[in-house]
Amino acid sequence: MEAETNKFQWRYLADMEISNLGRLTSGGLSKEHILILNDAGIEELYPPQEEALRQGLLSLKSSFVVSVPTASGKTLIAELLMVKSILESRGASFPHREKGNKCLYIVPLRALASEKIEEFKKYEKLGIRTAISTGDYDTSDSWLANYDIIVTTSEKADSLLRHRSSWLADVSVLVVDEIHLIHDSSRGPTLEVTIAKLRQLNPKMLVLGLSATIKNADEIASWLNAKLISMDWRPVPLREGVFLQGEIFFNDSRLSAVEKISSDNIQSIALEIIKEKGQSLVFVNNRKSAEKFALDIAEKTKKFVSLAEEKSLKVLAKQVLGVLSEPTKICRRLAKCMEGGAAFHHAGLAAKQRRAVEEAFRKNLIKVLSATPTLAAGVNLPARRVIIRDYTRYDINIGRVEIPVLEYKQQAGRAGRPKYDKYGEAILIARSEEEKAHLLDNYILSEPEEISSKLGVEGALRTHVLATIAMGYANSLSSLMEFFSKTFFAHQQEPYLLEGHIHKVVNFLLREKMCIAKQAIPERNKEKNGLIVPTLFGKRVSELYIDPLSAVILRDALFRAQKVKTNALSYLQVISHTPELGSLYLRAKDYDMCVKEAVENEDCLLAEMPDRFSEPWKFEEFLSEMKTALFIKDWADERSEDFILEKYGLGPGDVRSKVERADWLLYSMFELGKVFRVEKLGEISRLRERVKHGIKEELLELITLSGIGRVRARRLYAHGLKTLKDLKKADIATISNVELIGKKIALNIKKQLGEKVEDSKEIKQNQRQISEF
């Protein structure tokens, strides 16, 4: 009873004034909610937040688009809206009862999802349950029905819609973080269509779009029938400038000389701010540059690290080195940099290594961080000074290009740490007066570009047209046009511009038997009400969340596999031929290796090899795909991560990203094989497990044990412990003596094999260790 009393005691604090957030009580927020904000260090509302309240955010009657700079309080606006919606739906008298509205929070990256879920956990004191879902695309995740705030990516949200997750009908608030990424050619179409589907499913649902400062935020607001909050206010003033010949020329006409701390100008700019107890974030255009810059400057940052910090950094360096059972050159470089108070950040690092770097930078243990541009679109990591060393990048199709203004603004927006810095500085680098003028005019003084829909291409439409039919949102050309007329593309342009693409995609789906026409499909511009229904094949493709073109490639390969002798490379080559996996860049030195493997295995390949003379471009693409297949084969043949880094240029993060997609494509191939009832599915299933864990076939049995990965399994096998039966016969001492095993893991193995062991406390500690690993 006492616990229940504590839950409701905050209602009697109505007359107390708690900081200047007390005004929120007039918007219907409880004193308990306000105390939670105070405990989180939020003591006052920022102007964008006050404007949202003024325009009626907490009345729960309007959708909003908030277009403001980084760190201007967008997330709190979302929190206020979500918490108010959830608690109000439960009823004022019983704020802690279980039933109520749900809120879906969509982020562009998994790393951001983890960051947000940690921020939202503070509301558990109000009885609000939070959950994250970013993984398996072939499930409805019915367990999410028990949660109030669900954080996910746009791809996972789209997948949940395809699996008809019933709880989605209870979503009252949709928050779309970084909604300006509708402009992104790879992920934008999925985000756009997912928003459109959720709005059709829940017509009364409120949408809150959180955006960077963009030129046409009003267009997004108009599409969503939302109120727009747009302002340039920042909690920390931003100074933007261009460095040239030892001086920084700022946009307020101030000129600042840079102290010559190093013979390298960029290092001097970064180190100058460290002397003032600030931090520097340096953006470069590729991974090698990020690593080199961090390695070089780590020798200089050492002298700015205190003894206590030095001790902490050594511990962190050891941790990042131990993330992988077989540390690579990249791991060793990162550990060396971190010991000196510097670090680098890019997608080639393992996820745990990136998180360790981010946390160390937030704690000011890392003084200088060099990063590729992906960091600017990811986690929130501000610094006193941001240096944009490279404003150009290499595009494989057209050569060197300048980055968009929006990307520069995202990078510059990381300058200035709220509560720590009185100002932030973003510095571009020029080599001449002409370049300085160019950077001032085209970046610092320019507005970000307008964003536009990327839905109007056949490749983007294929998967979404099929899903729209498979889910029952449309069953004819006219109803397809009606659905797509609700997209941002149709809001920006005339919907009929999509009609030709949609008609072409529908014909493709009919031809490949993913859909069937109950009546003849009319020509364009004629009657469009012929009934279109999905086949079992089409439904399964939609659920598996793969491109219909990939499904055709995999289906045809399954049929070919029944007629030829197959090996591991047969299946790896065909999944590398799909649009999803993405082939590796073919270097000149790779050419002969890939040709040799292709010729030797030609009779086993499941995707046809083009003629190198009549179709040279296709042949080069084929060799790139072959290189990708050979990388996955090397991984499954237990090649070390250093070997893969050296041979293919892939870091730990790259390996895991590729392996995850390869695993999913092999799973999809297996599932499609069940649809068509073909043979040889056992080969695919075993290969999938090998790829997933990076092991040869003889380790498949050992890998079923929790806490036993590719390296430990190989050590056990090498010591004659080749099967679960061998492990059951062996005593704990024998297992413990195997390298990398030890007593704790040996005890856990015995427990998993059903044996009783005495040291249960040690086992529990080991289980926690394995879970953390």
Query: Using one digit for the tens of pLDDT, what is the confidence trace for 461-503?
Result: 999 999 999 999 999 999 999 999 999 999 999 888 888 899 9
Structure tokens at 422: 């009185």
424-429 and 385-388 beta bridge pairing: parallel
Helices 74-90 & 31-39 angle (0-180, nearest 10):
150
Structure tokens at 81: 């809206």
Q: How far is residue 566's CA from residue 676's CA, in Å, rounded to a whole number?
A: 18
171-177 and 149-153 beta bridge pairing: unpaired
Q: Where are the alpha helices (DSSP H) in 385-519?
A: 405-412, 433-439, 458-470, 477-484, 488-492, 496-511
Instruction: Give the confidence band of 525 by pLDDT, cuts at 50, 70, 90.
Output: very low
385-388 and 280-283 beta bridge pairing: parallel
Q: What is the DSSP string of 277-345?
A: T--EEEE-SSHHHHHHHHHHHHHHHGGG--HHHHHHHHHHHHHHHTSSSS--HHHHHHHHHHHTTEEEE
Residue 3: its pLDDT value, please? 37
Residue 194 amino acid letter: T
Structure tokens at 287: 């991974």
Q: Which of 127-131, 495-499, 530-534 has the lowest mean pLDDT?
A: 495-499
Strands (E), 41-113: 63-67, 102-107
Average pLDDT, the chain: 89
pLDDT score of 656 more than 50: yes
Find the mean pLDDT for residues 160-170. Answer: 93
More confident position, 221 or 91: 221
Beta bridge partner(s), residue 534 = 515
Structure tokens at 54: 């003024």
Q: What is the DSSP string of 1-59?
A: -HHHHHHHGGGGGTT---GGGGGGGGGT--HHHHHHHHHTT--S--HHHHHHHHTTGGG
Q: What are the pLDDT digits (tens) for 591-625? A: 999 999 999 999 999 999 999 888 899 999 999 99
Residue 529: its pLDDT value, please? 64
Task: Choose among 495, 484, 496, 479: nearest CA to 530.
Answer: 479
- State residue 130 phi and psi, 5-degree precision: -115, 150
Find the mean pLDDT for residues 509-533. Answer: 75
Find the mean pLDDT for residues 582-590. Answer: 91
Q: What are the pLDDT digits (tens) for 61-71? A: 999 999 999 88
pLDDT score of 129 more than 60: yes
Cα→Cα distances 586→222, 247, 575, 625, Å: 45, 42, 17, 9
Find the mean pLDDT for residues 42-49. Answer: 89
Spatial contact of 738 and 715, defined as CB atoms under 8 Å apart: yes
Helices 652-676 & 548-561 angle (0-180, nearest 10):
70
Using the CB atoms, write b or e for 27-36: b if 16+ within 10 Å: eebbbbbbbb
- State residue 678 phi and psi, 5-degree precision: -95, 170
Angle (nearest 5°) at CA 499 between 493 and 502: 120
Instruction: Give the confidence band of 567 by pLDDT, cuts at 50, 70, 90.
Output: very high
Find the mean pLDDT for residues 748-757. Answer: 88
Residue 100: its pLDDT value, please? 67
Residue 399: its pLDDT value, please? 82
Q: What is the DSSP string of 510-563?
A: HHTTSEEESSPPPPTTS-----EEE-HHHHHHHHHT--HHHHHHHHHHHHHHTT
Order of all β-strands in the sheet with 226-230: 130-133, 149-153, 102-107, 171-177, 206-211, 63-67, 226-230
- State residue 379 phi and psi, 5-degree precision: -70, 155
- 430 contacts: CB under 8 Å, gap ≥ 6: 242, 243, 244, 436, 438, 439
Structure tokens at 307: 């003894």
pLDDT score of 766 more than 60: no
Find the mean pLDDT for residues 242-251. Answer: 95
- 508 contacts: CB under 8 Å, gap ≥ 6: 462, 548
Longest dimension (CA), the chain: 83
Q: How far is residue 658's CA from residue 628's CA, in Å, rounded to a whole number?
A: 9
Beta bridge partner(s), residue 133 = 152
What is the share, in percent, of the chain residues with pLDDT greater than 70?
91
Residue 519: its pLDDT value, please? 65
Structure tokens at 195: 């928003």
Q: How far is residue 762's CA from residue 621's CA, in Å, rounded to a whole number?
A: 53
Q: What are the pLDDT digits (tens) for 393-449? A: 887 778 889 999 999 999 999 999 887 889 999 999 999 999 999 999 999 999 999
Q: Which of 135-149, 676-690, 749-763 has the lowest mean pLDDT?
A: 749-763
Q: Which of 151-155, 442-446, 515-519, 713-717 has the lowest mean pLDDT?
A: 515-519
Region of 208 (left: φ > 0; alpha: ψ -120 to 50; beta: rest) is: beta
Helix, strand, coil share (%) of the chain residues, nearest 5: 55, 10, 35
- 424 contacts: CB under 8 Å, gap ≥ 6: 234, 236, 237, 238, 239, 382, 383, 384, 385, 386, 414, 415, 416, 417
